[in-house]
């Protein structure tokens, strides 16, 4: 590697490798790798007590920060001055604030009011670097938040129902529910939705529509109301799934009897209950 102009290749005072060194740390020329390592390891400054990069000697020859030793603040975030959380040119919190502002901005450029709790919570997390890493991974689906902020995706459980229910999507959904952006929901209940979608694709169109309406307006609605009071049980979820399968079977049976729900006679319904005891009611 050839040294950029102004750098001299010399023995790094820290790692002892022969490398381009452009900065002095504790009086020694140090290579770029060692500067980065140093930057990531701040300590309490004996002068100001702050968590700082101790790259300079003070008058008593103690490693201290730039501010306490009259040096330029080369390790400080240019926006806020902190030295304890480096991330690129700025610090982690400033970078995160900027990226979250971009991610969660509505078309007017302000944080979408409904997503303000997301902004606050992610910014207050213990490790901004972790959140920043999450934001850069497309597979983690931060785009869902962006689309919601821009009004391209509704901020609702229904919007999530239309997305693949994979881990990344569920994570965003859980986050929104935990922060109160979305109403509380029970994952066991909401997992019925993608499962239902699979069932519906197997059914003739007119059956699928009926079952879909029945599932959403009767079963899921009831379960979601229970979920709001934290009263969903495993049995309740199983019952709902069984009812959906039972209803699908019932419609198929009606077809086989050459009749429809509207024209089925009481006698036929009773026949059905005899054929499938305990499964016809839902
Ligand atoms: Zn080095
Ligand atoms: Zn200091
Ligand atoms: Zn900063």
Could you list the pLDDT tens digit for every one of the 282 residues in the chain? 454 555 678 899 999 999 999 899 999 999 999 999 999 999 999 999 999 999 999 999 999 999 999 999 999 999 999 999 988 889 999 999 999 999 999 999 999 999 999 999 999 988 899 999 999 999 999 999 999 999 999 999 889 988 987 889 999 999 999 999 998 878 888 889 889 999 999 999 988 998 999 899 989 999 988 988 888 899 999 999 999 999 899 889 888 888 777 777 777 767 776 666 654 444
Q: How far apart are CA 61 and CA 67, in angstroms?
A: 15
Domain end (from 161, 183, 205): 183
Q: Which helix (H) or strand (E) holds 20?
A: strand 18-25
Q: How far apart are CA 28 and CA 8, in angstroms?
A: 13
Whether residue 80 lies inside any domain: the answer is no
Query: Domain range for residue 128?
Result: 92-183
Looking at residue 212, what DSSP letter applies? H
Q: Are strands 86-87 and 43-44 parallel, antiparallel or unpaired?
A: unpaired
Query: What pLDDT is attached to residue 274?
Result: 67
Query: What pLDDT is attached to residue 95?
Result: 96
- Backbone φ and ψ for 23, nearest 5 degrees, come out as -140, 145
Label residue 145 exposed, middle or buried (CB < 10 Å: 0-12, 13-18, 19+).
Answer: buried
Return the axis-axis angle of helices 192-201 and 234-256, rounded to nearest 10°.
10
Query: What pLDDT is attached to residue 278?
Result: 57
Whether residue 44 lies inside any domain: the answer is yes
CA of 97 to the centre of ligand 3 (A): 9
Query: What pLDDT is attached to residue 276?
Result: 67
* 194 lies in the same domain as 263: yes
Whether residue 169 lies inside any domain: the answer is yes
CA of 177 to the centre of ligand 3 (A): 30
CA of 26 to the centre of ligand 1 (A): 13
* 171 lies in the same domain as 194: no
Q: How far apart are CA 72 and CA 75, in angstroms?
A: 9
Domain end (from 152, 183, 214): 183
In this prediction the pTM is 0.68
* Closest ligand to the CA of 35: 1
| Total structural domains within the chain | 3
CA of 41 to the centre of ligand 2 (A): 15
Domain end (from 156, 183, 210): 183
* 41 lies in the same domain as 55: yes
């Amino acid at each position: 590697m050839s040294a950029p102009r102004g750098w001299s290749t010399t023995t790094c005072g820290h790692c002892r490798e022969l490398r381009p060194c452009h900065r002095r740390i504790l009086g020694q020329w140090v290579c770029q790798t060692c500067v980065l390592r140093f930057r990531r390891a701040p300590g309490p400054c004996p002068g100001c007590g702050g968590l700082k990069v101790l790259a300079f000697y003070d008058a008593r020859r103690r490693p201290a920060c730039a501010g306490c030793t009259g040096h330029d603040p080369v390790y400080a975030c240019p926006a806020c001055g902190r030295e304890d959380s480096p991330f690129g040119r700025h610090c982690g919190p400033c970078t995160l604030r900027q990226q979250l502002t971009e991610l969660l901005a509505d078309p007017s450029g302000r944080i979408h009011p409904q997503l303000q709790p997301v902004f606050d919570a992610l910014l207050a997390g213990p490790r901004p670097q972790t959140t920043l890493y999450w934001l850069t991974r497309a597979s983690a689906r931060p785009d869902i938040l962006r689309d919601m902020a821009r009004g391209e995706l509704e901020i609702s459980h229904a919007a999530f129902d239309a997305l693949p229910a994979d881990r990344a999507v569920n994570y965003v959904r859980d986050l929104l529910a935990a922060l109160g952006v979305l109403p509380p929901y029970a994952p066991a209940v909401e997992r019925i939705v993608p499962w239902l979608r699979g069932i519906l694709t197997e059914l003739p169109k007119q059956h699928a529509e009926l079952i879909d309406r029945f599932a959403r307006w009767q079963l899921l609605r009831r379960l979601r109301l229970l979920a709001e009071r934290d009263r969903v049980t495993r049995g309740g979820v199983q019952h709902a799934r069984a009812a959906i399968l039972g209803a699908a079977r019932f419609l198929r049976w009606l077809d086989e009897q050459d009749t429809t729900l509207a024209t089925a006679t009481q006698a036929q319904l009773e026949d059905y209950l005899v054929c499938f005891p305990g499964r016809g009611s839902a």
